[in-house]
Amino acid sequence: MDLTLIAAVSDINGRRIISDKGNIPWFKDDEIRKSDLIRFKQLTIHRPIIMGRVTFDSLKNKPLPKRTNIVISDSPELNIASGIVYHAFNLEEAIQMASNFGNLAYCIGGSRIYKQFIDSPYSTKLEITEIKEAYSGDAQFPFIDKNIWKLTNSEEHEKYNFLTYERK
């Protein structure tokens, strides 16, 4: 099973911001929002996605369509509004569930889940949308250790870059 962490990150001054109070600050910019969402959909469509409960809550408790949604939460109950969502109590259980749906899954956040996965042996790739403008926020993406991760692809744009890292 290969696991890819996918995130949009405002990494100005090493802050690595991914959200603010459950909202993505740069989504007010149509160009960034549209490009990032197109890429996100292209990569994750028809794949299992793993997320934490806070990320699931930010989606208004509705699963992302055409994906197997797996939510990691230590709570015995989740408020699931509609659709099929699988509940995992920990990373290993989430990976096991995802492996039932193919050999590639995506971790879509949030901050705590990224931190738990980034250095785990499950993670093999990072797909990062690097936002070139500084934004403030309360959630951060973990530090990308260049001793572990190698930049293998970079696609430059005016307001953002698409970066791919692979485990060395």
pLDDT tens, residue by residue, 4-16 = 999 999 987 788 9
User: Contact 153/165 with Cβ under 8 angstroms?
Assistant: no
How far, in Å, CA of 80 to CA of 82, rounded?
6
| pLDDT at res. 63 | 92
CATH code of the domain made up of 2-167: 3.40.430.10
Q: Is 81 helix (H, G, I), strand (E, B) or coil?
A: coil
Average pLDDT, the chain: 93
Mean local confidence (pLDDT), 41-51: 98
pLDDT at 111: 96
Q: What is the pTM of this model?
A: 0.94
**pLDDT tens readout for residues 73-113:** 988 777 665 567 899 999 999 999 999 999 999 999 999 99
Q: Measured between alpha carbons, how far is 91 from 71 in angstroms, rounded to an integer?
A: 10
Q: What pLDDT, on the 0 to 100 scale, is given for residue 79? A: 66
